[in-house]
A and B are shown apart, each in its own frame.
Chain A
Amino acid sequence: MNVADAVMLSVSGDRTLPEPAPKPLIEISDVEKIFGGGEIRALSDINIAINECEFFTLLGPSGCGKTTLLRMIAGFEHPSSGNIMLAGKDVLSLPPRARSVNMVFQNYALFPHLSVAQNIAFGLEMLNWSKFEISERVAEVLALVRLESFRSRKPAQLSGGQQQRVALARALAPRPQVLLLDEPLSALDLKLRKEMQFELKQLQRETGVTFVLVTHDQEEALAMSDRLVVMSAGRVQQLGTPQEIYGKPANRFVADFIGEANLIPGGLLGRRRDVTLSIRPERIEIATVSSFVKLYGVLKAATFLGADTLMEIEAGGIVVRARLRGAQMAAPGSEIGLCWPDDAEWELRE
Chain B
Amino acid sequence: MRLKTTLLLLLPAIGLIFLFMVIPMLISLLYSFMTANVYGGVTMPLTVDAYVQMLFDQDFSGNLTFMPDYLWIMLRSFYLAVATTVLSLALGFPVAWYIMCQSPARRTLLLTLVTLPFWINTLIRTYCWILLLRDSGLVNGFLQYLGLIDHPLPLLYNQPAVLLGLVYTFLPFMVLPIYATLERLDPRLVEAAYDLYASRWRLFRRVIWPLTKPGIAAGTVLVFAPALGSFLQPDMLGGGKQLLIGSLIEMQFTSSRNWPFGSALAILVTAAVILALILQSRRTKAMEARA
Residues of chain A having any CB pair with chain B under 8 Å: 74-76, 95-97, 101-103, 105-107, 109-113, 122-123, 126-127, 154, 156, 170-171, 174
Contact = CB atoms under 8 A, between A and B. Distances in A.
B195 A126 contact: no
Q: Is the interface of B mostly helix, strand, loop or mixed?
A: helix
B206 A96 contact: no
Interface string B261-291: 0000000000000000000000000000001
Given A112-B211, A113-B291, A107 B197 contact: no
Contacts of B191: 76, 96, 103, 105, 109
Contacts of A122: 193, 196, 198, 206
Contacts of B207: 111
A174 B196 CA distance: 8
A171 B189 CA distance: 13
A97 B194 CA distance: 5
Given A107-B186, A111-B207, A97 B192 contact: no
14 contacts: A95-B194, A97-B195, A97-B197, A102-B196, A103-B191, A109-B189, A111-B192, A111-B207, A112-B211, A122-B206, A123-B196, A154-B291, A171-B195, A174-B197
Contacts of B198: 97, 122, 126
Contacts, number: 61
Given A109-B191, A113-B291, A123 B186 contact: no
Interface string B160-200: 00000000000000000000000000101101111111110
A44 B221 CA distance: 53
Given A109-B189, A111-B207, A113-B210, A103 B291 contact: no
B291 A111 contact: no
A299 B103 CA distance: 57
Contacts of A105: 188, 191-192
Interface of B: 186, 188-189, 191-199, 202, 206-207, 210-211, 291
A170 B196 CA distance: 9
Nearest to B191: A76
A151 to B, nearest CB: 15
B197 A113 contact: no
Interface centre among B188, B192, B196, B199 (most CB of A within 10 A): B196
A97 B192 CA distance: 10
Given A113-B210, A113-B291, A126 B197 contact: yes
Q: 7 shortest A-B CB distances, which residue pairs?
A: A123-B196, A109-B188, A126-B197, A109-B192, A97-B197, A96-B194, A113-B210
B210 to A, nearest CB: 5
A116 to B, nearest CB: 13
Nearest to B186: A109
A127 B197 contact: yes
B79 to A, nearest CB: 32
Given A156-B291, A174-B197, 7 more contacts: A74-B195, A76-B195, A97-B199, A107-B188, A122-B193, A126-B197, A154-B291
Contacts of A126: 196-199, 202
A169 to B, nearest CB: 12
B197 A103 contact: no
A76 to B, nearest CB: 6
Contact of B192 (A101, A103, A154): A103
A102 B195 contact: yes
